[in-house]
Structure 1
Amino acid sequence: MPKGTCNFPSCDKYDSHLRRGLCHNCYERMRRAGRLEEFQARPKKIPSWDRMVKIGWTETDSGCWEWSGTKNADGYGTIFNGTYGKNKSPRRSITSRVSWEHHYGPIPEGLLVCHTCDNPPCIRPDHLFLGAPRVNSHDMVNKRRSTNGERNPNAKLTDREVQEIREKYRPRCGALTQLGREYGVTRSAIWQIVNNHSRRDKTWTSPV
């Protein structure tokens, strides 16, 4: 038997053994009343894209369609897409993914929907493309959206200061401690930088 949410209009109870789309209690109540044959399941939910059209978007000067509904912490649009589990936890879909699936079809497993416009709430289909996580990461770095280096909110050193540390460093006793005091970071942080373990630079060769 299928499992899911009861289709009786005033119920919405989750049941692991639905019969005719009804939970056990509703099924038995309708059966005893002799009304099973007249029961009609609730209408199917409006597809996500049709609901997105009702909520709408704003077209920017750059041509983006910026989603007018709710957004997650990363700025991507989201839309309610039913519930799941016994606790009926809300399931939300990313609107750029809904847009892609509506216009182009299913998204192959393992691929992400990326933006050519670099605008997370944009749902315009011709601003979207599919890419593997690695492609998306490279795209993010190329567009300087990654939080590496001084763009990381927790970074204590600018990129220029990191470069200065590497230029000043000489492998001698006390050098790490001295540079740490000069730049206000720990000896360990300096060691990580000069050995290219943090703030990595492909052109840098440690003198150690």
Structure 2
Amino acid sequence: MASTNPETAPARFDAKWIGEPNSGCWLWTGGVHGNGYGSFHDGERVVGAHHYAYRRHSGPIPKGRYVCHRCDTPTCVNPDHLFIDTPSGNSQDMTRKKRNGNDHRRVYSDEMKLAIQEDTRPYKDIAEAYGLSLTVIKNLKSREGRGLGRPRIAKLEFENHQLREMLQRCIGFEPQLDQEIRALLDETARRTSAQRAR
């Protein structure tokens, strides 16, 4: 079992994220809660990975405040992308950015659902193009959104999609790594197919 000593926390934390060069996000590769946010054992207890990142670089989180993402990427732990806000400020930010999921009550045509489900662009781009929240796009692209249940599939597909995009951007930088990257891409495609088949 890995050490949970508070003194080893910074090194353990730094080993569990990958920098994404286009967005500047530090994508968490450790455990992820069902809500999409990273989790990390800081040596005393399990905390949100973004909470640990904020505390480590900026200090304590004021009581009753939230650690929010400027980048709107729940797995991002880049302290430059994090800020403190009130619960109401966080709600206003979610509404302004159409991340509050209130558009889930809308009725979508079968044609629109099919177009979204077959769209291969990043989920954020699809959400922006259709004027929907990221949550709705994830739900419509999930097996649940197609009437087949299993909402966790959407999360896995989204994570695999993010990983595939990141790996594809790396091809060509280090020729000796290209074969390994292509193997990882094949593996993520295999996992996605296996999850869809269940």
TM-score (norm 2): 0.48
Higher helix share: 2
Of structures 1 and 2, the one scoring higher in RCO (CA 8 A, sep 6+) is 2
Higher strand share: 1
Q: Determine which structure has more spread, i.e. the larger CA radius of gyration.
A: 1
